[in-house]
Amino acid sequence: MSEEVKPESVSLYPASAAATPEQETVCIFGTGDLGRSLGQRLLQSGYRLVYGSRRPHSCGPVPPGAQVMSHEVAAQSASLVFVCVQREHYDFLETLAPQLNGKVLVDVSNNLKKNMYPEANAEYLQKLIPGAHVVKAFNTLSAWALQNGPSDANRQVYLCGNNPEAKQAVAVISTKLGFTVQDRGSLSAARELEDFPLQLFPEWRLPMRLTIGLTAFFFFYLLTRDVIYAYVDEGRDISFRIMMSLANKVFPSVSLILLSLCYLPGVIAGFFQLYRGTKYKRFPDWLDRWMLCRKQLGLIALALASLHVLYTLLIPISFFFILFHFQIKSNKTSPFDTTMAWRTDSYYAIGALGFGLYLLLGISSLPSVSNALSWREFSFIQSKLGYLTLFFCTFHTYLYGWDRFLYISQYKWYTPPGYMLCLVVPSLVLVLRLLLLLPCVDKSLSRIRQGWERTDPENDSKKSLLA
Amino acid sequence: MSEEVKPESVSLYPASAAATPEQETVCIFGTGDLGRSLGQRLLQSGYRLVYGSRRPHSCGPVPPGAQVMSHEVAAQSASLVFVCVQREHYDFLETLAPQLNGKVLVDVSNNLKKNMYPEANAEYLQKLIPGAHVVKAFNTLSAWALQNGPSDANRQVYLCGNNPEAKQAVAVISTKLGFTVQDRGSLSAARELEDFPLQLFPEWRLPMRLTIGLTAFFFFYLLTRDVIYAYVDEGRDISFRIMMSLANKVFPSVSLILLSLCYLPGVIAGFFQLYRGTKYKRFPDWLDRWMLCRKQLGLIALALASLHVLYTLLIPISFFFILFHFQIKSNKTSPFDTTMAWRTDSYYAIGALGFGLYLLLGISSLPSVSNALSWREFSFIQSKLGYLTLFFCTFHTYLYGWDRFLYISQYKWYTPPGYMLCLVVPSLVLVLRLLLLLPCVDKSLSRIRQGWERTDPENDSKKSLLA
Amino acid sequence: MSEEVKPESVSLYPASAAATPEQETVCIFGTGDLGRSLGQRLLQSGYRLVYGSRRPHSCGPVPPGAQVMSHEVAAQSASLVFVCVQREHYDFLETLAPQLNGKVLVDVSNNLKKNMYPEANAEYLQKLIPGAHVVKAFNTLSAWALQNGPSDANRQVYLCGNNPEAKQAVAVISTKLGFTVQDRGSLSAARELEDFPLQLFPEWRLPMRLTIGLTAFFFFYLLTRDVIYAYVDEGRDISFRIMMSLANKVFPSVSLILLSLCYLPGVIAGFFQLYRGTKYKRFPDWLDRWMLCRKQLGLIALALASLHVLYTLLIPISFFFILFHFQIKSNKTSPFDTTMAWRTDSYYAIGALGFGLYLLLGISSLPSVSNALSWREFSFIQSKLGYLTLFFCTFHTYLYGWDRFLYISQYKWYTPPGYMLCLVVPSLVLVLRLLLLLPCVDKSLSRIRQGWERTDPENDSKKSLLA
């Protein structure tokens, strides 16, 4: 910078400098979008910046305050070099091996699709310049995020590398730029990091598969029981029911099951801890994976529940519509009985309240809302209110069934109606949960969760390690 | 760190060091979750880190780059010590009094429930080591937040202590870690800070109480007028109405009142300022408290309004359902009149629009949305649109009443129907608001809000202090 | 600070100091709200702070750790001065010209309304003290944001000025305070920056105008076709329909058009790139402006769609209500046909699904949610799901029309019904989009978007500049 300072601005030195008395110089190879954005942010964080370029004099605009030099000179001027070059052009770096020896090379590159190359870009870079300390970092961030600094979501900088000091150096810079660092271990993790930006809703995959499976099952099950049965048995063609009434049976069933599946793993975990008498043993992988996708399960359940509500509200209208095309002849005149009215009304009322709670859960899981809650408040909503929702919805379904559980006529072709099937899991979850709430059980469980361990010989070894 | 540097990484020095030319060393007592998370973040922010542990050689994993020593040695190596130890084990610190003399001790501890101990942990710590400068801080943050850095919500670090320099030192570190500091005064505030994490929706308590009270009142009021009256007077049992129709009268009434209560304090404040002729006098406490829970009031009102909509939409369906169990005999055949149609339709239309605005208000009060608005935009939505919503909903209710205000038959047992009761407050608010909008009033009010003061003798003293 | 340190706290030095070994001193003129908030934040970021005030000894409270001096002394002690004084009082600064010569003056002032003064405050300040380097900055932030540090939204600090070092110095400070900097060029941009806080939803203006225009058009168009036609032609007064049925035709029509207008610019852009054979040429301004308000268009469309749903659900109820005031005589008894039922049901079902997707799009555009998505995920939702939504809603409308396109009776007064009009744009967009998806077209387009350029002579020049 000293080169460019105009005489009258001498007094500026302390201002721009004092922030970091002798400014550290950082080097960036490549003046593309990413290089420029990163450079701008580095300058604003008080670093002195040098660009390395093939044609230092015709390399397009660089942020004011930065200098552009040949790769050789630039490399010597700094101990940390960001490589903002596409992998195809890495080879030229080999010629810089002597200048880059012992320096920290930050590989920020990404690929267009997975497994484009035999080894990760960062590992390839390390191979080219064995003397340098390659660190993979920043590749999960967009040029936009690098320029405008971290926003709520893309604040995480994942890094990996073989040299701890090199990683530490990159970590400090990242933190000065305002990002938070997560160390993913040795350079062999680079491949994994390079795949991150290519993933599409990884954590939604399992829940979606489950949803599709359940939906398909219930659809064909109900199709057989309602439409096909009516056709075969009574020769009536009610296929049009598929669009509304049938869908409106599938959605709530799947929704209820998914909701209960959000709470099942928690209950199972409780029993695990009770059985093992400690909270310090890891859960089996399948349980961990399950627990990690509870939020997604819940949100899909909410979406289906909303569709259920919308359909329920639309059906009478579409019905209304039909009503106008032909006179309906309802010849059954059962006397009006209050019980029936009570049942119907509470069925709808509880459904509505359940849905309200459902929405509340959904809203509270919006990032900005859940951030605004203390941990205690969040867990209160997600567990206490969650179970209340589950109870309401289950009860709502039971009211739907009412006494029809008993009517043999319901069991067409000896199959139980759909709402019975979808009641199994939720009922199970609620029962198990109640078991865990029994005073005696609850007490020992909470003791375990506060760190107490049932002492039995084969445990002591572990404990001494943990203490 | 110098101890661990490998020869080939000498060139790294500037990289990791220049960030803070001579790195400050910070000490952490305790290597538990909190200690580790805090330590990792400190290292990433460029601090040199030393752990103090009872068994320096078997104390479990610490973040790479940190050293573990005995408490004595660790304490001497740094001028600021984070005490990440549970209060039960504080006593051992007494033995370190000489080493800790004159140092800054940061107490980050929390308790499992309120009033577990006679005095706050931080005050207890100060008692143990009178020579140290105890600062209470970070206790409101989870280990997670400490490790991953501040997210939108848990960015606030509350601190309190008796020594200003000590607090300043902690404030600087917190800011370097990316948190924002709020000074809560002397160490006597520690008790308050330690209670923060134990609170459950403190700001929701008042509004919830109010809601429950109003709901209970309207429920029993309407229960008497509708159900019991029908039973006593006409011997009809319409108890089943409780689930839907009755609830659907309670929800909107309470919702409307709560909504109007959001805007009442603002109006009152306006009159206060007019009367006092200055904006520099504090409002009475009850008004401040009221103003602070406006958002909560509004959100509860929104929730009830949504239930009202859902119920309104469901009632005809449940009705429909009943319709199928018995023939309804409607023998009243009033001729179709357009006025009636106009009334009904505008009643529903305005209700729908009101609800739409309601939702808009709700959405705009989501943290992430309101953050994205400039202050001017936010106040525009919350005041202008808010009053519009209030007006729509009130008008909607008036349309519901229509000319029935006049029918004596409506006043069963000489009590007014529910919708009349719930119209009182909103109407009042709207009238008062209109008064404030009168040109003359509005002018002087806005002048006051721009800082102008009606000059009367007993005010001058104050002003000179404020200028 | 050194003055105030108490003997026993000597050991504190390293703690508070090491963060920035020789702390930079910053000066603030003015001890108002803004000055205090800014000062507190500066102290917490490790700066030494000096206030300049007219009455150093009676200037009200300043944050602990800061000193208050006369303007002259304060100005000399720092090389960077924040001017937190209202423009009306700038003139006194003229007297300080000698002390401020060569210093960085940060103008943070705002005006109450646009064009209050002939030139921007910052330019006025520069005129008063030609020797200083005036930088306009921080004026878009509230005192609240300055004190509590950046939150998700108000993190952006816009700055402009004529001296690059001065801007750099302010940029570094802003970044240390946790804000992200955007350089808006020379001081002549100050006027623009000073207008920012006065704007009210600037990016919503164009979409709102468009919405109002379309709504007005459809309203009067349908008013004529339905209400007036019925009155003139059949002498029936169905004016009451305006509130519900008419509105419920206007909302969906406008909503559908707005939604399609979200996707039209993208398609046009695609054709532009195909035609030009490069992505490096800027689009015409109107297209850029259009693309920038896509989000707003979409959200308004969503709002109207929600109203459409609400109205659709309410109409039968209001109808129900009327039903009770007079016997309806429906004398048409067409036989029940499955096709009709299929049509009706799928019409409603697809509408419901479309609305569901609509909501999903809306939710995913909440700041906190879209932040949580990777760029790839966001674009997947907004483009793939977006087009699916558009398709569903368009199909929903076609189903509404069904075969009525053919009935001449539909063309009252030789005008097509509203739903036909509103189908034009969406159909167009879908067709164009399909064209772009043709394998051959798609291939060359994606190549262009990956940076490939069709080489034709007059292009080469440009490329060499860009490389």
Q: Is residue B192 a contact partner of residue B184, using CB atoms and an 8 Å limit? A: yes
Q: CA A47 to CA A20: how far, in whole Å?
A: 8
Note the pTM of the prediction, 2 decimals.
0.80
**Residue A333 pLDDT:** 43
Q: Which residues of chain C lie closer than 8 angstroms to B178, CB-CB?
A: 178
State both tokens at C277.
């054979």
Per-residue pLDDT tens for C322-371? 554 443 444 444 455 677 777 878 888 888 889 999 999 998 888 778 77
Mean pLDDT computed over every residue of chain C: 82
pLDDT band with cut points at 50, 70 and 90 for residue B435: very high
Helix, strand or coil, per DSSP, at residue C67? strand
**Residue A335 pLDDT:** 53
Q: CA C196 to CA A10: how far, in whole Å?
A: 33
**Could you give the percent of chain C with pLDDT greater than 70?**
86
Neighbours of C, requiring at least 3 CB pairs below 8 Å, are A, B
Q: Which residues of chain A lie closer than 8 angstroms to B201, CB-CB?
A: 377
Which of A325-339, B135-149, B293-307 comes out lowest in average pLDDT? A325-339
Neighbours of A, requiring at least 3 CB pairs below 8 Å, are B, C
pLDDT band with cut points at 50, 70 and 90 for residue C379: confident
Are β-strands C104-107 and C67-70 bridged in parallel, bridged antiparallel, or unpaired?
A: unpaired
A15, A151, A153 ranked by CB distance to C104: nearest: A15
- Inter-CA distances, B149 with A173, A315, B152, B174, B184, Å: 15, 50, 10, 10, 22
Could you tell me which residue, B406 or C196, shows the higher pLDDT? C196
Per-residue pLDDT tens for B179-225? 888 888 899 989 888 888 887 888 899 999 999 999 999 999 999 88
Neighbours of B396 (CB within 10 A): 21
3-state SS of A7-76 is: HHHCCHHHHHHHCCCCCCEEEEECCCHHHHHHHHHHHHCCCEEEEEECCCCCCCCCCCCCEEEEHHHHHH
DSSP A382: I
Nearest CA to B259 among B367, B453, B394, B127? B394
Residue A144: closest C-alpha in chain C: C375
Q: Which residues of chain A lie closer than 8 angstroms to B152, CB-CB?
A: 152, 367-368, 371-372
Q: CA A386 to CA A407: how far, in whole Å?
A: 33
Our CA dihedral for B33, B36, B37, B42, rounded to 10 degrees, sits at 160
**Residue B180 pLDDT:** 81
H or E element: which one contains B253? helix B247-276
CB contact under 8 A, C348 and A314: yes
CB contact under 8 A, A80 and B15: yes
Non-local CB neighbours of B221 within 8 Å, separated by 6+ positions: B415, B418, B421
Radius of gyration of chain B from its Cα atoms, rounded to whole angstroms: 32
Q: CA B105 to CA C12: how far, in whole Å?
A: 11
Q: Which residues of chain C lie closer than 8 angstroms to A201, CB-CB?
A: 377
Burial of C414 (0-12, 13-18, 19+ CB in 10 A): exposed
| Residue B14 dihedral angles phi and psi, to the nearest 5° | -50, -50
H or E element: which one contains B269? helix B247-276
B164, B172, B356 ranked by CB distance to C64: nearest: B164
**Residue C390 pLDDT:** 93
CB contact under 8 A, C464 and A58: yes
Residue with tokens 């750790």: C65
CB contact under 8 A, A327 and C346: no
**Residue A106 pLDDT:** 94
Give the CA count within 13 Å in the CB-facing half-sphere of A239: 10
Neighbours of A27 (CB within 10 A): 27
Q: CA A150 to CA C243: how far, in whole Å?
A: 48
Nearest CA to B301 among B255, B257, B262? B255
| Residue A48 dihedral angles phi and psi, to the nearest 5° | -90, 140
**Residue C312 pLDDT:** 87
Q: CA C68 to CA C74: how far, in whole Å?
A: 8
Per-residue pLDDT tens for B79-109? 999 999 888 888 888 889 998 999 999 999 8
Per-residue pLDDT tens for C287-300? 988 988 899 999 99
Q: Is residue A237 a contact partner of residue A231, using CB atoms and an 8 Å limit? A: yes
3-state SS of C415-435 is: CCCHHHHCCHHHHHHHHHHHH
Q: CA C353 to CA C385: how far, in whole Å?
A: 12
Parse chain B into domains and list their residue ranges. Answer: 25-198, 202-322+335-453
Per-residue pLDDT tens for C413-440? 778 888 888 999 999 999 999 999 998 8
Residue C463 has pLDDT above 70, yes or no: no
- Give the CA angle between residues A382, A392, A318 to the nearest 5°: 115
Neighbours of C464 (CB within 10 A): 10
CB contact under 8 A, B352 and C311: yes
**Residue B150 pLDDT:** 67
What is the average per-residue pLDDT within B279-287?
Answer: 85
Q: What is the CATH number of domain B25-198?
A: 3.40.50.720
* Partners of residue B159 on adjacent β-strands: B183
Per-residue pLDDT tens for A401-439? 877 777 777 777 778 888 888 999 999 999 999 999 998
**Could you give the percent of chain B with pLDDT greater than 70?**
86
H or E element: which one contains C29? strand C25-29
Neighbours of B406 (CB within 10 A): 8
pLDDT in tens, chain A (467 residues): 344 433 333 333 333 333 444 678 999 998 888 888 899 889 888 899 999 988 888 777 888 888 899 998 998 889 999 999 888 888 888 889 998 999 999 999 888 778 888 889 999 999 999 999 999 998 888 777 777 666 655 678 889 999 988 998 999 898 888 788 888 889 998 988 888 888 788 889 999 999 999 999 999 999 988 888 888 888 888 887 888 888 999 999 999 999 999 999 999 999 988 888 887 788 898 998 898 889 999 999 999 999 999 888 887 766 555 554 443 444 444 455 677 777 878 888 888 889 999 999 998 888 778 777 777 788 888 888 999 999 999 999 988 887 777 777 777 777 888 888 899 999 999 999 999 999 888 888 888 877 677 765 454 444 444 43
Q: Which residues of chain A lie closer than 8 angstroms to B8, CB-CB?
A: 102
Interface contacts B/C by beta carbons within 8 Å: 185
Q: Which residues of chain A lie closer than 8 angstroms to C377, CB-CB?
A: 200-201
Q: How far apart are the CA of B201 and the nearest CA of chain A, in angstroms?
A: 7
Q: In what order do the strands lie in the sheet with B67-70?
A: B67-70, B48-53, B25-29, B80-83, B104-107, B133-136, B156-161, B180-183
Per-residue pLDDT tens for C87-145? 888 888 888 999 899 999 999 988 877 888 888 999 999 999 999 999 999 888 877 77
Our CA dihedral for B434, B439, B440, B442, rounded to 10 degrees, sits at 60
**Residue C335 pLDDT:** 53
Residue C69 has pLDDT above 50, yes or no: yes
A44, A243, A320 ranked by CB distance to C316: nearest: A320
| Residue A100 dihedral angles phi and psi, to the nearest 5° | -85, -5
**Residue B321 pLDDT:** 52
- For chain C, how far is it from start to end, CA to CA, in angstroms? 52
Q: CA B167 to CA C16: how far, in whole Å?
A: 9
- Inter-CA distances, B1 with B25, B65, C180, C299, C302, Å: 10, 7, 32, 54, 57
Q: How far apart are the CA of A68 and the nearest CA of chain B, in angstroms?
A: 20
